[in-house]
A and B are shown apart, each in its own frame.
Chain A
Amino acid sequence: MSREQEIITSTQTGSHCLHVRHETGLDIYIMEMPGYHSSFALFGTKYGSINTRFRLKGEENYTEVPEGIAHYLEHKLFENEDCDAFVQYARTGANANAYTSFDRTAYLFGCSENFAESLQILLSFVQEPYFTKETVDKEQGIIAQEIRMNNDEPGWRVFFNMLKAMYHNHPVRIDIAGTEESIKKIDADLLYKCYNTFYNLHNMVLSVAGNVNAEEVLALCDKLLRPCEDQGLEELYAEEPQTVVRNFVEDTLPVGVPIFNLGFKLRPQSGMELVRSELIASALLEVLLGPSSKLYNDLLNEGLINSEFEADSPFTGDNYFVLSCGGETTEPEQVRDRILAALEEAKQNGFDRESFERIKKVHYGSMVRSDAVVEENASMMLNAYMAGVKPFSSVDTLASITYEDALRFLREELDLSQHVLSVVHG
């Protein structure tokens, strides 16, 4: 089979990987890491909980599917006609799993031997769906318990409550696993419809790293990947206002100390603009709210927060962009007011330039750490594909962001009125 390929090298760390555009339409990223025993592989599709409304080239109407179906499909794909993929992996010793998030589903395994055999299993079962009424119905109980487990998690609840209070229409506001009601509407036909739409190799990526040999990986891909046509997938997101639904939401669960998330709704971005903005936004939050900031230490000294308080990584994807922070406090409204005041002050008067440069060093250190970890590299390449950029874009862009970029971002992109405070009390 024919392939287009290129070596992509990080200008900052010197690390490199191979990118292959396979004839079948699949993007393949391979990072050989000499000296490592283990390998890690991810086979992912741009299909997550937000992809609820779509159509293919030539279709007039959009299809709308029940909440939680991408996650349901992930569960069911492990089961083929002959046997469960976990049973097949058991024969190679690999440690396999899968996850569904807002904008992607990925099937993965890690191993320290029998890599080729495990990769063969991965490439095979993801391309061989098998859904029947019986197998689909059987999963209802398992997923219902997963939904209940998540609902009992205060961290999960406080985050989703925040998203629901922030987004009017965007499906990022729905739970990844759906609800006990919505999953009852899922049947084998709907699963096939979603599978055939999103599990098209033109919409997918294979990312492998560690003790792997590129030629061996590509030979297996040539053998196992099934050519498919680009179906011209189109997705529709309901129009989303720039404003939040409400500024405050609260809930109760058994918790020892109340927990909170404070989030800000930002203008959605994509591609390299988003890569830069994510780096700038994380550095900004770290400078203004992180453990070395004046605000953090004032709140800590006054007993209003503890070390659980932290600024989260930017939460971004197709048409959503959220900056948030959170932790434990008995006085969430007071903490919110102090954070808003500190951000407003920084908007007006700027912030410490030296701190900003120091935080850039911290981010560089974090990327160097990840660079030596097999799983992190495989995930980094998958994330780059999902974001529509090249691997190493983050680490290579980091050096070029400036204090002036950050100040502009703070003043122009962060609208403090568009915040949501979400609290879970005991």
Chain B
Amino acid sequence: MKETTQNLGKGMDLVQIIEPKFKTNTIMVMLLVPIVPEKNASYVLAQSMLTQSCRKYPDNAAMTVKLDDMYGAGLSAPVSVNGSVMSLSVRGSVIANQCALHGEDLLGEMTDLMLDCLFDPNVRDGAFDANEFRIQRKELLDSIQAEINNKRGYAMLRARQTAFVNEPDAYPLYGSQEEVEALTPEGVYAAYQELLRRAVVRVYYVGSEEPAGLSEKLTAAFSQIKDRAPEALPFEAPSPCKSECAHVTEQMDVSQSKLVLAFKGENIPGEAFRLFSAVFGGTPFSMLFTNVREKMSLCYYCASRVIEGKATLIVDSGVELANAEKTHEAVLAQLEAVRNGEFTDELVENAKRFMVNILRGIGDTPMSCIAEAYQRFYRHDDADVEERIQRYQALTREDIIAAAKALREDTVYLMQQGGTK
């Protein structure tokens, strides 16, 4: 595997990863901006417009036919958050040229298609095409309304809103329904122009072949944007712990309650925090799984995860309402046990092996390559996989105890079964 990074201009880099074993080529253009809550709706809608149509393929049908012709190429617009940074991406993926049945230059076609999407969108007179805009706005409104469909995800969302209250990333990622309804084709296109000026741009290419002319094409395209002023990115935005734990309870007409707990701690080193989570609740041999699920039979899942950049640990579980308090107490008891060092050295070694196994598996899929390269960027950490493995190996049980001791309970969210929202 060969990785190179090339600067293409102000706040813009191209990372190329060449791995001959892959049978697909993937290009991901990430536009990274500090979250400004009131801009979320217009940015997300603008980004979604880019992959649905462009001037050359002016509606969903035309775009789909083009992608189908490229052996079912993928074109998507993922959005995510790290710390207080929003990442709005356009991602294209196509089978490698050597797999094409008729000698097509699929990588060249994908490169051109992505540039068309980004720089020649479906715009007329300074506004996105009105019909396509109407469809995409409805799409976004439906997504907001449908958040409630996935009960575990919805409970997590609501808990985050309380845990990170008054912080930019507590705000709905897609904006509110009212904000989306107020958007116009002109306003959203203007927001897109602004996004291109504000964003730090990271372009990732992962594939089996060198992408001829990709850097030149990107440089030429981005140089058309006037007054580019990429902003500093707050990837580290630790969330302060509340002086008193917030308790939120909501009723919903469901048959299982959801309990979500947020814990916060200052200055916990990244590797130690993640290893702590693996010991505590992030693995099927963790203390939460072994005790709360297996020994106490309280739930089907009770798991922990670290929210990077926020100094926060989330624990979530699906429980019978009558057992919610008991489950809460059991989680706190397990945290106390870690603080008191009541866990085996074997558990620590097992957690390290678990982390090492994940790290060594990186490089077998294009998306794992991109995720790892992006992690190095947002963590401001150039350590390669082997170096990161050594860091995990060097951690001790005292590091895990210290992480547990640093955590304080910040939020308790309960979705209560049986009620009506």
A residues contacting B by CB (< 8 A) are: 13, 33-38, 84, 86-87, 89-97, 110-114, 138-143, 145-146, 148-149, 151-155, 210, 253-257, 259, 290-292, 294, 296-297, 300-301, 303, 306-308, 328, 358-359, 361-366, 368-369, 371-374
How many A-B pairs have beta carbons closer than 8 Å: the answer is 186
Name the B residues within 8 Å of A362 (CB-CB).
68, 71-72
Q: How far is B283's CA from A97's CA once the two chains are assembled, in angstroms?
A: 11
Q: How far is B147's CA from A289's CA once the two chains are assembled, in angstroms?
A: 25
Closest B-chain residue to A15, C-beta based?
A: B23
**Closest-CB distance, A425 to chain B (whole angstroms):** 12
B73 adjacent to chain A (CB < 8 Å): yes
Contact status of A154 and B149, CB under 8 A, knowing A93-B353, A145-B319, A254-B421: yes
Q: How far is B61's CA from A294's CA once the two chains are assembled, in angstroms?
A: 8
Instruction: State whether B142 touches A292 (Cβ < 8 A).
Output: no
Among all A-B residue pairs, the 3 with the closest Cβ atoms: A365-B71, A93-B353, A256-B145
Q: How far is B358's CA from A92's CA once the two chains are assembled, in angstroms?
A: 12
Interface string of B301-327 (1 = CB under 8 A from A): 100000000000000001110000000
Instruction: State whether A328 touches B256 (Cβ < 8 A).
Output: no
Instruction: State whether B318 touches A36 (Cβ < 8 A).
Output: no
Instruction: State whether B320 touches A145 (Cβ < 8 A).
Output: yes
Name the B residues within 8 Å of A368 (CB-CB).
23-24, 71, 95, 99
Name the B residues within 8 Å of A146 (CB-CB).
300
Instruction: State whether B61 touches A372 (Cβ < 8 A).
Output: no
Contact of A91 among B64, B68, B70, B350 (CB under 8 A): B350
Instruction: State whether A306 touches B95 (Cβ < 8 A).
Output: no
* Additional A-B contacts beyond A253-B254, A373-B365 (4; CB < 8 A): A93-B354, A112-B361, A143-B300, A256-B142
18 interchain pairs (CB within 8 A)?
Answer: A94-B357, A113-B360, A114-B353, A142-B294, A149-B256, A254-B148, A254-B253, A255-B146, A297-B60, A306-B138, A307-B139, A361-B68, A361-B71, A362-B68, A364-B101, A365-B73, A369-B23, A373-B365
Q: How far is B41's CA from A382's CA once the two chains are assembled, in angstroms?
A: 44
Q: How far is B69's CA from A359's CA once the two chains are assembled, in angstroms?
A: 8
**Closest-CB distance, A93 to chain B (whole angstroms):** 3
Q: How far is B40's CA from A404's CA once the two chains are assembled, in angstroms?
A: 49
Instruction: State whether B146 touches A369 (Cβ < 8 A).
Output: no
Instruction: State whether A151 touches B285 (Cβ < 8 A).
Output: no
Contact status of A152 and B254, CB under 8 A, knowing A291-B61, A372-B23: yes
Q: How far is B266's CA from A397's CA once the two chains are assembled, in angstroms?
A: 58
Name the B residues within 8 Å of A33 (CB-CB).
21
Name the A residues within 8 Å of B20 (CB-CB).
35
Name the A residues within 8 Å of B59 (CB-CB).
297
Instruction: State whether A152 touches B256 (Cβ < 8 A).
Output: yes
Instruction: State whether B284 touches A364 (Cβ < 8 A).
Output: no
Q: How far is B142's CA from A112's CA once the two chains are assembled, in angstroms?
A: 40
Q: How far is B364's CA from A33's CA once the two chains are assembled, in angstroms?
A: 11
Instruction: State whether A36 touches B354 (Cβ < 8 A).
Output: no
B residues contacting A by CB (< 8 A) are: 20-24, 59-61, 64-65, 68-73, 94-95, 99, 101, 131, 135, 138-139, 142, 144-152, 252-256, 283-285, 289, 293-294, 297-301, 318-320, 346-347, 350, 353-354, 356-365, 421
Instruction: State whether B65 touches A111 (Cβ < 8 A).
Output: no
Closest B-chain residue to A290, C-beta based?
A: B64
**Closest-CB distance, B163 to chain A (whole angstroms):** 23
Instruction: State whether B254 touches A254 (Cβ < 8 A).
Output: yes
Q: How far is B64's CA from A90's CA once the two chains are assembled, in angstroms?
A: 45
Q: How far is B293's CA from A358's CA once the two chains are assembled, in angstroms?
A: 49
Contact status of A111 and B131, CB under 8 A, knowing A142-B299, A292-B68: no
**Closest-CB distance, A68 to chain B (whole angstroms):** 14
Name the B residues within 8 Å of A97 (CB-CB).
284
**Closest-CB distance, A47 to chain B (whole angstroms):** 22
Closest B-chain residue to A91, C-beta based?
A: B350
Contact status of A363 and B142, CB under 8 A, knowing A36-B21, A142-B300, A368-B95: no
Name the A residues within 8 Å of B360 (CB-CB).
37-38, 112-113
Name the A residues within 8 Å of B146 (CB-CB).
255-257, 308, 328
Contact status of A113 and B357, CB under 8 A, knowing A297-B59, A364-B71: yes
Name the A residues within 8 Å of B131 (CB-CB).
301
**Closest-CB distance, B133 to chain A (whole angstroms):** 12
Name the B residues within 8 Å of A140 (CB-CB).
297
Closest A-chain residue to B71, C-beta based?
A: A365
Instruction: State whether A37 touches B64 (Cβ < 8 A).
Output: no
